[in-house]
């Protein structure tokens, strides 16, 4: 958009022969219009304009939602804070549950290792005699 505005201003100055622009070539004066066409082509091909349009639409949606919540007497910021706090609490509970399960697995592995060793009451023999646990 700025290229178009610049092109219009430069064209007006050229037509009225005002200042230095009056002696410039028409190619220089009309160059901002070509740059505007190049910019719009790139913006459309890259998805830049669509992305900006979607961001504006999302902002309008949030504003409309906040306005509706305010009309109902619900503080939208407080609602979002409560929602975030509830999510954080559920994540903490889930993490604690997973850590408890992992600790139980570790304890089970420790117990199985301790129970698979020789009895501590007897002495072990290398030849595999009756003292060793089978």
CA dihedral 7, 10, 16, 18 (to 10 degrees): 170
Global pTM exceeds 0.75? no
Residues of the chain with pLDDT under 70: 117-134
Domain boundaries, the chain: 1-48, 61-116
Q: Which two tokens stand for residue 19?
A: 């200042």
Here the tokens at position 32 are 């901002």
What pLDDT, on a 0 to 100 scale, did the predictor assign at position 102?
94
pLDDT single digits (tens) 115-126 = 776 555 555 555
Residues 84-104 pLDDT 10s = 888 999 999 999 999 999 999
pLDDT number for residue 91: 93
So what's the pLDDT on residue 18? Answer: 87
């Amino acid at each position: 958009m700025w290229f178009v505005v610049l092109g219009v201003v430069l064209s007006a100055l050229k037509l009225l022969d005002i200042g230095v622009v009056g002696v410039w070539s028409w190619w220089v004066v009309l160059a901002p219009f070509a740059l505007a066409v190049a910019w719009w082509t790139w913006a459309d091909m890259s998805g830049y304009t669509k992305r900006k349009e979607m961001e504006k639409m999302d902002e309008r949606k949030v504003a409309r939602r906040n306005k509706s919540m305010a009309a109902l007497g619900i503080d939208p910021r407080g609602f979002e804070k409560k929602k975030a706090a509830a999510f954080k609490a559920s994540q903490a509970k889930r993490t604690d549950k997973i850590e408890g399960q992992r600790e139980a697995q570790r304890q089970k592995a420790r117990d199985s290792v301790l129970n698979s060793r020789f009895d501590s009451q007897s002495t072990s023999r290398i030849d595999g005699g009756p003292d060793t646990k089978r």
